[in-house]
Amino acid sequence: MTPKLNVVPFVSVDHMMKLVLSIGIERFLLELCAYVEDDFRRWESFDKVARVAAHSPDGVIELMPTSDGAAYGFKYVNGHPKNTRDGRQTVTAFGVLADVANGYPVLFTEMTILTALRTAATSAVAARHLAPKGARTMAIIGNGAQAEFQALAMKALIGVDRLRLYDIDRAASEKCRRNLQGFGFDIAICDGTEEAVQGAEIVTTVTADKQNATILTDNLVGAGIHINAVGGDCPGKTELQAAILRRADIFVEYPPQTRIEGEIQQLPSDHPVTELWRVIVGDVQGRTDGRQITLFDSVGFATEDFSALRYVRDKLAGTAFYEELDLLADPDDPRDLFGMLLRAAA
Ligand SMILES: NC(=O)c1ccc[n+]([C@@H]2O[C@H](COP(=O)([O-])OP(=O)(O)OC[C@H]3O[C@@H](n4cnc5c(N)ncnc54)[C@H](O)[C@@H]3O)[C@@H](O)[C@H]2O)c1
């Protein structure tokens, strides 16, 4: 049978949910962690560029491309913290994977759910290399759309099973606790950040606010903790008091992007940081002692989306969790595009 050259598998939100649930959320996260880590290991084989961002007063729209020479991927993603007020998501996304050899897309997918999964998987991979060994307690400051994913990835990969939740909107923390029932967590809802970080070996900040906020102050950061700073991911949008950054060993994805978007935008542009991939390949040691404060200054990088696209593509084979999109023109004679248009009128 001649392969259909015009169709591209498309994974809708509905199909993505079915795919994730059919695999199992924690297994999905674990397998995705492996893909993310594999791609960090071959960091040097990727084309890398800081994402292209279009800023407006209320948010940002970004394009995130990368390629490993065989496949090309990109994600369209937004960040609009005020969106939740009228029922929209802060972050939505979709993405494409394509074959470099002929330029044809091989996958088109929703990436709102997939972004939450890949962000959580990346946090967990970073924590495996940077957090204190055997860490079980994590504070999560900001209990919105990303929060449960962060919790489950940390559980699946490194065994975190005690959560201390804080959100300025208690209803968000209640939602998070409700959603995580049955996943084996011991969960406390706290009245403030100070209470939430008590006894936490990992502190995840994942709030949404388009400003230089101070979600975590220096006096709350004790020796030996790992900070997973996820919400500060845009110029003028940070979560940590600058003094924390001066005490911490800072690990980043792609420095040219993180210097613009991450917590380190608050620091001089030559402040030393370590690229996470160097720790993963063993060039540099991550955590060196029990008193060290490690900080993963996460902003989200294109290779992580590429890993997620690759994973979904591999998992789709043999399932019914996609539809075929008539996305590409396929005239009988490749040079007779116009003739194909005319014949459609007949
Ligand atoms: N680093 C990455 O790769 C990555 C990926 C996805 C999302 N993000 C970022 O993560 C953040 C959260 O995303 P989301 O989809 O969960 O957003 P969301 O709007 O669904 O949730 C954010 C939560 O933060 C809470 N919050 C706001 N200010 C707070 C404060 N001062 N203290 C405590 N809680 C506070 C809000 O009440 C809300 O519940 C966003 O800033 C987003 O841009 C980063």
Residues 61 and 155 in one domain: no
Residue 3: predicted pLDDT? 64
Residues 22 and 136 in one domain: no
Q: Collect all residues with Cβ–Cβ distance below 8 Å to 296 and sequence separation of at least 6.
A: 123, 126, 127, 130, 226, 227, 228, 229, 251, 252, 276
The reply to whether 233 belongs to the active site is yes
Residues 21 and 147 in one domain: no
**285 band by pLDDT with thresholds 50, 70 and 90:** very high
The domain in which residue 31 lies consists of: 7-113+303-344
**5 band by pLDDT with thresholds 50, 70 and 90:** confident
Residues 127 and 272 in one domain: yes
Residues 244 and 162 in one domain: yes
**4 band by pLDDT with thresholds 50, 70 and 90:** confident
**243 band by pLDDT with thresholds 50, 70 and 90:** very high
Q: Which CATH number belongs to the domain containing residue 230 in this structure?
A: 3.40.50.720
Look at residue 1 and tell me if it is in a domain: no
Residues 158 and 218 in one domain: yes
Look at residue 2 and tell me if it is in a domain: no
Q: What is the pLDDT of residues 108-139, one digit of tens each?
A: 999 999 999 999 999 999 999 999 999 999 99
Cα of 142 vs centre of ligand 1, distance in Å, is 6
Residues 188 and 102 in one domain: no
Q: Indicate the number of domains in the chain.
A: 2
298 lines ligand 1 (CB under 6 A): yes
Q: How far apart are CA 4 and CA 337, in angstroms?
A: 17
Q: In what order do the strands lie in the sheet with 105-110?
A: 52-56, 59-67, 71-79, 93-99, 105-110, 7-11, 323-326
Residues 71 and 82 in one domain: yes
**2 band by pLDDT with thresholds 50, 70 and 90:** low
Cα of 144 vs centre of ligand 1, distance in Å, is 6
Residues 50 and 78 in one domain: yes
Residues 147 and 249 in one domain: yes
150 lines ligand 1 (CB under 6 A): no
Residues 201 and 242 in one domain: yes
Residues 45 and 103 in one domain: yes
Q: Which CATH number belongs to the domain containing residue 88 in this structure?
A: 3.30.1780.10
